[in-house]
Amino acid sequence: MLRVEDITHSYKSGNEWTSVLHKINFTVKAGEMVALLGSSGSGKSTLLNLMAGLMKPTEGHIYIADKDIVKMGENKLAEFRRKNIGFIFQAYELITSLTVRENVELPLVFQSVSPRVRKAKALALLEQVGIPDKADLFPSQLSGGQQQRVSIARSLITEPSVIFADEPTGNLDSKTEEEIIGILLNLNRTMKTTFIVVTHEYSVAEQMQRIFTLKDGFLVTEPPAPAEAVHKEPAEEINLHKAPEAEPAPEAEADTGINTETNTDIETGAEQTAAAEEQTAAGAEEHEAAADEKQPAKESGVPEAADAEPEEGGKP
């Protein structure tokens, strides 16, 4: 479902280029949950942002559902991201002027989904992440852990086939961290969504099926073959809009250029904000009226889903 091939990335500062990722290769199967582990500055976020199509690598290829996102033009990539990719940020990135439910609905605002359906899906997801009673509150009225639950629900609403999470528990205490990781593990099991989770904590990483370790921009561990993407023990059943059974509905409709934006910065690393900005702008407007009540605004980031196939591979 995800194949990273000879990815190399350099950032430019002034006249100098600094190489931060060196020939990274690995493959993730559909439905796997893998950790990207490494110390600060090892290149985790850079790699994650590249895989999520938030920026372009200096060299190499990244295939998601057999499409090379590195080669995609901006519009097509933006559309592809919305359909196939979800993103969870360390700092949640919720829009403060929208209610919890509106935040979760936001990605669907870009997909001509009726308000009634959007609302129903958002409420089902809020239930799924354990905060059905918070739907009408604003993000500022929630704890950090609750805000991250909202952000998880938002990343799921488009039913993406792969979700990238950059230190999703980085701002949380250890108990809340456990709860959030528990939710992600459970979603992976029940919905078969592929997860790539960046963390610098081994205790978090070891709960996932495989660990990729980055050190100074090199992939230093060869992850065990993904032959049997073993899902540990199933936990409680959760229902959603999507039948858990079915593998994430694969569609190769990735090539339906429609949208705009995407960033192609090789030198800056515009990262997450890009995605966030996109989804936000439009959605925010649309919800403006509804949210007449309060607070300032901010951004959110959320993409979407597709699916695909397994593969193998990998080498440092």
Distances 24 to 238, 270, 314 between C-alpha atoms, Å? 36, 20, 8
Quick one: which segment of 43-51, 177-185, 230-238, 295-303 binds ligand ATP (CB under 6 A)?
43-51
Residue 86 interacts with ligand ATP (CB under 6 A)?
no
Residue 15 interacts with ligand ATP (CB under 6 A)?
no
- For ligand ATP, give the closer residue by CB, 14 or 296: 14
Quick one: which segment of 40-48, 69-77, 120-128, 287-295 binds ligand ATP (CB under 6 A)?
40-48
Query: In the bound complex, what is the minimum distance in angstroms from residue 233's beta carbon to Mg ion?
Result: 30
Rounded to the nearest 5°, which phi and psi values hold at 246? Answer: -55, 135
Q: Which residue is nearest to Mg ion (CB)?
A: 45
Query: In the bound complex, what is the minimum distance in angstroms from residue 66's beta carbon to Mg ion?
Result: 28
Interface with ligand ATP in residues 129-148 (CB under 6 A): none
Residue 45 interacts with Mg ion (CB under 5 A)?
yes
Listed in sequence order, the residues at least 6 apart from 122 whose beta carbon sits closer than 8 Å to its beta carbon are 101, 102, 104, 105, 135, 153, 157
Calpha distance 77→156 (Å, rounded): 19
Mark 108-138 as b/e (b = at least 16 C-beta within 10 Å): bbbeebeeeebbebbbbbbbbbbbeebbeeb
Quick one: which segment of 41-49, 77-85, 131-139, 153-161 binds ligand ATP (CB under 6 A)?
41-49
The binding site for ligand ATP (CB under 6 A) comprises 11, 13, 18, 20, 38, 40-46, 200, 268-269
